[in-house]
Amino acid sequence: MKKKWFWFAGLFVALVLAGVVSNFASSSPDGLDAAARQGCTFNADDEITGGTCMAQQEKDHQLGGSPLADYGIKGIDNPYVSTGLAGVAGVLITFAIGGGLFWVARRRTHV
């Protein structure tokens, strides 16, 4: 019984973090993005105007048009709701896949 409460509490905390706290994440470029931009100059619209940097080679991702692309859910206009729901969906999908893999692995050791 304690294991179930532990799992539910962990899932609840992960859902709260993904659904609420994710909206407070920094929108500034992370370390990799900042390193890729070194050596280039940018205009007010954040477009490369000169210099040489890795960011000049970036391309759109093949899954850029998918429903959960860009830390949001396509079709939801409110960015806070979109980001929160995408985080919740990600947690649930990850939990389901991880739980399924653990369930299969546990079943195989008892055979």
What pLDDT tens digit does each residue of the chain (111 aa) get?
A: 788 899 899 999 999 999 999 888 877 767 888 899 999 999 999 899 999 999 998 888 888 888 888 888 999 999 899 999 999 999 999 999 998 998 888 877 655
Q: Which amino acid is residue 50, in one-letter code?
A: G
Question: Looking at residue 60, what is its pLDDT?
Answer: 85
Domain that holds residue 77: 2-109
The tally of domains found in the chain comes to 1
CB 71 within 8 A of CB 11: no
Provide the 10 A C-beta neighbour count for residue 86.
Answer: 22
Rounded to 10°, the helix 2-19/79-109 angle is 150
CB 22 within 8 A of CB 84: yes
Question: Looking at residue 4, what is its pLDDT?
Answer: 87
Provide the 10 A C-beta neighbour count for residue 14.
Answer: 17
Q: Is the dihedral of CA 73, 18, 21, 81 positive or negative?
A: positive
Question: Looking at residue 22, what is its pLDDT?
Answer: 85
Question: Looking at residue 82, what is its pLDDT?
Answer: 92
H runs (alpha helix) in the chain? 2-19, 31-37, 79-109
Whole-structure pTM value: 0.70
- Give the rounded distance of the alpha carbon of 6 from its chain centre: 24
